[in-house]
Structure 1
């Protein structure tokens, strides 16, 4: 009998760019539906991440002043228990600082 239970996997990223890449990995490599993936600030403050990247970086190399760099970004999704190891690897490849499951 196959194990069809689900697990919530959560990963923390330093930049919004890395979190967005992780979402693409979840959708394209693992077939997880976008509405089943959640992105939020790791704190109660609005944040684009803890470091400038992508659109948060200015052409001069520094951080834009209008990008709220108030902390890390959390990506979470409910996945099949059989996908845990593969999803953990993908999240790590996308730049996750921490990955946990419950």
Structure 2
């Protein structure tokens, strides 16, 4: 009998850029549908990450200050339990600081 149980995997990232890369890994490498992937602040504060990246970092006058850098970003998705190890590796390659499940 095949194990068809699911688990919610969560990963935290310092930048929105890394979180977006993680979403691409989930979609392209693991076949997870975009509507099944959630991106949100890891805290109760609105945030674009905890450090400047991408367009925020490359600005004529230095790093942009108009996007809140209030904390980390969380990416989560429900996946088949059998995918956990492979998805965990992909999230790590994308720059995850922490990966957990529940």
Q: TM-score, normalised by structure 1?
A: 0.96
What residue in structure 2 maps to residue 3 of structure 1?
3
Shift of 1:62: 3.5
Q: Once the 2 structures are TM-superposed, how far is the Cα of residue 58 of structure 1 from its aligned partner?
A: 3.4
2:91 alignment partner in structure 1 = 91
Large movers: runs of 4+ above 6 Å: none
**CA 1:61–1:25 in 2, change beyond 3 Å: closer, same or farther?**
farther
Find the counterpart in structure 2 of residue 36 from structure 1. Answer: 36
CA RMSD of aligned residues (A): 1.1
Structure 1: gaps spanning 5 or more residues: none
Matched residue count = 102
Q: Which residue number in structure 1 is paired with residue 69 of structure 2?
A: 69
Q: Tell me whether 65-74 or 53-62 shows the greater mean CA deviation.
A: 53-62
In 1, the alpha carbon distance for the partners of 2:20 and 2:8 equals 18
Alignment partners' CA distance in 2, 1:52 and 1:17: 9
Shift of 1:21: 0.1
The alpha-carbon deviation at position 45 of structure 1 amounts to: 1.0
In structure 2, C-alpha distance between the alignment counterparts of 1:91 and 1:60, rounded to whole Å: 32
The gaps in structure 2 that reach 5 residues or longer are: none
